[in-house]
Structure 1
Amino acid sequence: MDSATAAAAQFAELQEVIHNILVTKYTYVAAATILFWDIFITFDQEVSRVWLTRNSLGRTLFLVNRYVAPALFIFDLIYQLHPSPSMTVSDHDRFQATWRLTPLYCKNSFLPPSLLGIAALGSVEFILVMRTYALYQSKLLLAALTLLCLASVAAMMGSTIYMHNNLVTNLPLGAIPLVPGCPTSCTSPLCRTLLIVFWIPFFVLETTIFGLTVWKSFRSFHMTGIEHSTNLVTMVYRDGLIYYIVIMAISITNLVVWIVAPMSMAYLATSLMRCLQVTICSRLLLNIRGILEPQYLTSQISTIGFSREGPVVKSTMDTEVSAVTLVRA
């Protein structure tokens, strides 16, 4: 009876693990769907407001933010959802040899996209840093926020590399019944701590940027009045508020999951967070260029030529990244 009870408990635990892993994989699919759909419905704006401008730092940051994430999601979907059909042992061995989905391959395939994803997140943060700098026009503030951004990226990469090399266990394809892709496991109590530490610098940076934006908006609206604020200024503050609320909400969700949920659900909300960061940041930049486009095209009409490539509009960092140097304290 005791052995039967233990077997039933192990089976129930296995069922829970399978369910949690599958739900996490489904969130990857949902997040990828949101990301690709947003790119599809805003591609015409991207062409007119980004592709037809000359190369600049702002344009480069936009394109990195826009297209590195989809490439990573494609890789993640292959990594997470590679089918594991029913096979005999010998067939399974040949299948693994053909596709190289061994534990070593799964382990080596996990780290590079994770680090690249952190670098892409760093580009999002740097865009926000540049917007904040444009509000204050302070090189000291720019240096401080840049250092905080670099510290955030370094902490994320450091914890990821340490977990990958010392704590995370990668299982072979088909090791867990009904679960596709490369299953990962981290049973050490240190995993939860590192996952929480992973986001602390990011949370500090986001909160600092939001606080600086709120303070600047309060001073600006207090001096000029909301009714006299331009559409550009109002839109910059509005989008910054929306970005912070959404990202902090999903960040807190991540922290709660890491603290109270089983480790099999540790990455439940990470893909959604990556998707929302990229999507909202892209919309923020497109909105800025959309508001500036009429006045900018009018002021630069002499620089527009007609050719088979279409018009080329000169652009600056203000129009590409923030365009909020028009704001004065």
Structure 2
Amino acid sequence: MDAVAFAELVEFGNAQRNVTYLLVASLALAMVDALHMLPDEVALIWAADWNVGKVLYLCCRYLVFVDLIPGLIYYMSRTLSVTQCQRIFAPGSILTLSGVVLAEALLYLRVYALSAGSRAVGISLGILFLGLHGAAYGFLVKFIQSLEYVPSPIPTLISCLQIKGESGRLEVVFILVLCSELVCLVLTLWILFTKYKGSKSPFVSMFYRDGLGYFLLLSAITLGNIICQLVAPPGYTVLLANPQLVLHSILATRMVLHIRGLILSGRGQGSSGAMELSSIGYAANVNLQVEASPEIPKAPGRLGGRTSH
């Protein structure tokens, strides 16, 4: 091996090490957020009836820890064969995309809830969700099939060495995810401006604020992944994939907790009174189906504004 090739391998190994650091940091962030929000979750989620929204929430919150395991093995093990690298990377990539899709399912459910169960909106969201994410899975599988590995000449530094792959297919995956997020943002703003224009309800304000903030953050990191695919040096092309997964999990689950907290606090009533709360409060029933009753304990106020009814 000549000096130039060796230097390139060392640079690639250093890149993999930095990706590993960010992966571990992402895992730590997910753990800290789960523990930080646990009191609110116990009060607002665990007491809820079982339905699709609750299942999605719990999967989105806790499967992220399972999703990150293949990545830890892939980057940190120093004894993997070529076959083992392939067998770990493939399910790890599918799990990462699945974690993002679960989070986006909650975002789509939120938009449907905001429409107060509009059949037209529901059908449109269903078609868009299946179409965009089905295509994303298809391109991801094609990308995985295009990968080729060789034994690492420096296994103490590089666990798995990819020498070939159609990265353009992975770019399309991130572009489709970005399109999905933009669809949710546009529909959220459209519903708010057409259905709740002029409303003074804190609930509407929360939907607008959280909707804009969450979607901008998620879109920014997805765009970052696209940029990494286009211009990042070898080894850094998937730098933001795991942070994207974790941020999707954190933001989507916090969104649900915010909705539930505001509903149970009774602060969703604006100028239109109980009728407005009943309409837009459909979000709580779609997401969790929990009635604001004395049997449901109040969260300790971590999210703010939920200490009294």
Q: TM-score range by the shorter chain?
A: 0.7 to 0.9
Structure 2 residue aligned with 1:209: 184
TM-score, normalization: structure 1?
0.76
Whole-Å separation in 2 of the counterparts to 1:148 and 1:201:
11
Give deviations 1:95-141, integer Å, cap 9, x for gaps.
x5xxxx32212211222232233223222222211211222232222
Residue 26 of structure 1, CA deviation: 1.2
Q: How large is the RMSD of aligned CA atoms in angstroms?
A: 2.5
Give the number of aligned pairs.
275
Identity %: 26
AA at the equivalent of 1:293: L
Whole-Å separation in 2 of the counterparts to 1:170 and 1:10:
17
SS class of match (1:185):
strand
Whole-Å separation in 1 of the counterparts to 2:196 and 2:118:
20
Structure 1 residue aligned with 2:296: none
Matched, 1:12 2:7: yes
SS class of match (2:238):
coil
Residue 317 of structure 1, CA deviation: 6.3
Residues 129-140 of structure 1: pairs in structure 2 closer than 5 A? 129-136=108-115, 137-140=117-120
Whole-Å separation in 1 of the counterparts to 2:81 and 2:238:
22
Structure 2 residue aligned with 1:233: 204
Residue 177 of structure 1, CA deviation: 4.3
5+ residue gaps, structure 2, are: 268-280, 290-309
AA at the equivalent of 1:108: R
1:291 corresponds, among 240, 254, 262, to 262
Whole-Å separation in 2 of the counterparts to 1:80 and 1:12:
20
Structure 2 residue aligned with 1:244: 215
TM-score, normalization: structure 2?
0.81
Which of structures 1 and 2 has the bigger CA Rg? 1
Residue pair 1:176, 1:183 contacting (<8 A) in 2 also? no
Structure 2 residue aligned with 1:152: 132
Whole-Å separation in 1 of the counterparts to 2:48 and 2:125:
28
SS class of match (1:263):
coil
Structure 2 residue aligned with 1:187: 164
SS class of match (2:108):
helix
5+ residue gaps, structure 1, are: 1-5, 85-95, 297-314, 324-329
Structure 2 residue aligned with 1:318: 284
Residue 220 of structure 1, CA deviation: 5.0
Whole-Å separation in 1 of the counterparts to 2:37 and 2:178:
29
Residue 11 of structure 1, CA deviation: 2.8
Residue pair 1:169, 1:186 contacting (<8 A) in 2 also? yes
Give deviations 1:181-224, integer Å, cap 9, x for gaps.
x4141534xx2311211122222221111012122223456433
1:106 corresponds, among 85, 91, 95, to 85
Matched, 1:66 2:66: no
Bigger mean CA offset, 147-156 vs 287-296: 287-296
